[in-house]
């Protein structure tokens, strides 16, 4: 079963997959995280990716497809969750060439609420755990004691550029998946636990 997660930046896709992994066995293909892993290696490719990311722009589809194909090769898990992919019509077309989309989960959240969440978001530099300044004001990860940091693209300016990119390129995919009958819309303004319950119900 192949599931894609759609939703504006800050709608809780990362938190949802983090929570889902405690209840469900699946292969997670989180494109943003995979790209950040490449940046962390310090490679030339990583530098190119960082320059795009820091401007709030999409990374080239051929780079993204290489990353995804690497992750999908030798997959033995029956469920695959694609987080942050596809983000454009071009990417959805590429995805159709390699697999079927059985379910598209759309986390619906207003832009104003998404911005508030992004400004509150912290990510662990060691284990990738996503949390908030409100929950962890001491900047210590509750999972691994690593240092919690603010993502370099989580500034109001870059967030607004990412929202615009989402509106122009990603939002049209909602219609595409609704028309193909695989879209399920979830109210992402609810608590992470309520969102998790709603999504688990749909997957089951």
Q: Supply the minimum distance, in Å, between the C-beta of residue 43 and ligand AMP.
A: 16
What minimum distance in Å lies between the beta carbon of 131 and ligand AMP?
Answer: 15
Burial bucket for residue 76 (CB in 10 Å: 0-12, 13-18, 19+):
exposed
Residue list 136-155, contact with ligand AMP (CB under 6 A):
153
Residue 17 or residue 78: which is nearer to ligand AMP going by CB? 17
Residue nearest to ligand AMP (CB): 32
Of the pair 58, 141, the CB lying nearest ligand AMP is at 58
The distance of closest approach from Cβ of residue 79 to ligand AMP in the complex, given in angstroms and rounded to an integer, is: 19
The Cα 194–Cα 188 span in angstroms is 9
First to last CA, the chain: 11
Spatial distance between the Cα atoms of 107 and 15, rounded to a whole number of angstroms: 11
Neighbouring C-alpha atoms within 13 Å toward the C-beta of 128: 12
How many residues at the interface with ligand AMP, by CB under 6 A?
Answer: 17
Radius of gyration of the CA atoms of the chain, in A: 16
Q: Which of residues 38-97 bind ligand AMP (CB under 6 A)?
A: 52-53, 56-59, 64, 84-85, 87, 91
Of positions 5, 17, 20, 35, contacts ligand AMP by CB under 6 A: 35
Under 8 Å between Cβ of 103 and 203: yes
Residue whose C-alpha is closest to residue 149's, from 157, 158, 140: 140
Q: How far is the CB of 31 from ligand AMP (least distance, A)?
A: 4
With binding defined as CB under 6 A, does residue 6 bind ligand AMP?
A: no
Of residues 12 and 84, the one with the C-beta less far from ligand AMP: 84
What's the rounded Cα separation, in Å, for the pair 64 and 69?
Answer: 9
The position carrying tokens 């722009």 is: 57
Q: Which of 4, 8, 17, 31 binds ligand AMP (CB under 6 A)?
A: 31
Residue 171: CB partners within 8 Å, gap ≥ 6?
Answer: none
Residue (118 or 186) nearer to ligand AMP, CB: 118
Q: In the complex, which residues of this chain contact ligand AMP (CB under 6 A)?
A: 9, 31-32, 35, 52-53, 56-59, 64, 84-85, 87, 91, 153, 162
């Amino acid at each position: 079963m192949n599931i894609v997660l759609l939703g504006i930046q800050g709608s809780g896709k990362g938190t949802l997959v983090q929570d889902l992994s405690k209840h469900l066995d699946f292969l997670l293909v989180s494109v943003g995280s995979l790209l950040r892993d490449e940046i962390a290696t310090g490679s030339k490719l990583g530098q190119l990716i960082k320059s795009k990311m820091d401007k709030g722009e999409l990374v080239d589809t051929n780079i993204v497809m290489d990353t995804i194909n690497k992750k999908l090769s030798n997959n033995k898990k029956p469920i695959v969750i694609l987080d942050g992919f596809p983000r454009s019509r071009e990417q959805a077309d590429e995805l159709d060439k390699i697999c079927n989309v059985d379910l598209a989960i759309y986390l619906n959240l207003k832009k104003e609420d998404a911005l508030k969440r992004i400004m509150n978001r912290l990510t662990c530099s060691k284990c990738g755990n996503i949390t908030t300044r409100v929950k962890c004001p001491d900047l210590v990860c509750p999972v691994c004691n690593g240092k919690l940091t603010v993502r370099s693209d989580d500034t109001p300016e870059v967030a607004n550029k990412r929202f615009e990119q989402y509106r122009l390129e990603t939002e049209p995919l909602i219609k595409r998946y609704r028309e193909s009958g695989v879209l399920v819309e979830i109210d992402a303004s609810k608590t992470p636990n309520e969102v998790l319950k709603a999504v688990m119900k749909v997957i089951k």
